[in-house]
Amino acid sequence: MFKLNDNMKLGVASASMQVEGGELNSNWHDWADRGFIKDGSSPSNANDHWNRYEEDFKLMREMGITEYRFGIEWTRIEPTEGEFSDEALNHYRRMIECMRDNGIRPLMTLWHFSHPMWFENEGGWLKSENIPYFTRYVSVVLNSLGDLVEEYITINEPNVFAVNGYLFNEWPPSNNNGLVQCVKVMSVLATAHIEAYKLIKEYNNDYLVGFAHHVRVFKGVGAGLFRFLFQDGVALAFTKGEFKFPFVNYRRFKKGDYVDFLGVNYYSQTIVKGMEFGFSTDLPKNDLGWDIYPEGLVRCVRELYALCPKPIYITENGTCDNDDRFRSRYIYDHLNAINKVGLPILKYYYWSFSDNFEWVEGESSRFGLVHINYETMERTLKESGRFYASIIKNRGITRSTYDEFVAGSHYDSV
């Protein structure tokens, strides 16, 4: 049992493409239309959050949630190159106002893996010449919504997007040209982040800006190299404008401070065997086969803080558990671990508030505290959601809460 550190706030997270629903001309709708989603589902369905946000924010308020990391969808805002939708921007304005009316503080993600097909057809993030498209979009968002939002994530998990889309070819655009293109995409995204950071600080220098960095523990032969390519090199470029080889500084930025906080997304570890990547044989797994390894979150936070000592937001941490078997234990173990770190961890956003469209896994993988019936769109609070609400209410985990939600739970054996 423990009390949360005084400065730590608990929230939840989501991404626009994963929850909003609707027929859009985006890279992920195109990917689904071409049959690359494992269960045949589509982001056109998702959670219908676009129309049901009032219901979702009411439920968050009832759970005591006051911090929400959410995304806006570039494809909605600029469906055709150079033509911006006042209807979409006004809808987002109503959404954010509703969020705030329910006592929920927004952390806005500007790009979370999804973008218009016109941008993809122009070469997407593979071309540094396309960065002005992104900064123009950011400027429009600031001018339309900037008075309502004081905290921003520019780019979500640039390393995951680049690796899955340009190295492993499991995500759009699936350009099979390997490591060179993968590193170039991460470099372009880092450059775009710095440009966006500067724009937001020009709009209001008091606003807080970061990026959400996917980090993991690497173990095995060659782990150091892959850790640098996947996360440390990326972190240096995004946070300090320090582009070490093979990363490229496309705008020749001077070294400096380009984040106000460290956004940390953590789920698991990776075991390296040559050019093969996998998981351990002796740790419990979630439904996707990922290792349950709370100590890895502590290790990653320490390593990232050593590179860039800034306040820390855990912008994603969660587990896929389709029948809610051990999500409460997962949350307990990870919060307990970071509560002892002694570093300035100010926020923890559980991924995710509700079940959602989980990229190539589709609707088959459930991360949420709230169950979604994808046929009726009914929302049902899970036992883990009740547990999370109790942590927020009690500012920690009491003996009775532990006995009710954690003591009887266990991870599956390996």
pLDDT at 412: 67
Nearest to 66 by CA among 112, 104, 99: 104
Q: Of all helices (H) and strands (E), which one includes residue 335?
A: helix 327-338
Nearest to 183 by CA among 241, 237, 106, 138: 237
List, in order of start, the domains of the chain with CATH numbers.
Answer: 2-406 (3.20.20.80)
In order along its 414 residues, the chain shows pLDDT tens digits of 899 999 999 999 999 999 999 999 999 999 999 999 999 999 999 999 999 999 999 999 999 999 999 999 999 999 999 999 999 999 999 999 999 999 999 999 999 999 999 999 999 999 999 999 999 999 999 999 999 999 999 999 999 999 999 998 999 998 766 889 999 999 999 999 999 999 999 999 999 999 999 999 999 888 899 999 999 999 999 999 999 999 999 998 999 999 999 999 999 999 987 666 778 778 999 999 999 999 999 999 999 999 999 999 999 999 999 989 899 999 999 999 999 899 999 999 999 999 999 999 999 999 999 999 999 999 999 999 999 999 999 999 999 999 999 998 877 654
Phi, psi for residue 94 in degrees, rounded to 5: -65, -40
Strand partners, 13: 69, 351
Give CA 351 to chain center in angstroms: 8
The CA distance from 176 to 126, in Å, is 12
Q: How far apart are the first and last CA of the chain?
A: 27
Nearest to 258 by CA among 184, 189, 316: 189
Query: Contact 82/72 with Cβ under 8 angstroms?
Result: no
The CA distance from 193 to 111, in Å, is 10
pLDDT at 185: 97
Q: Is the pTM of this model over 0.95?
A: yes
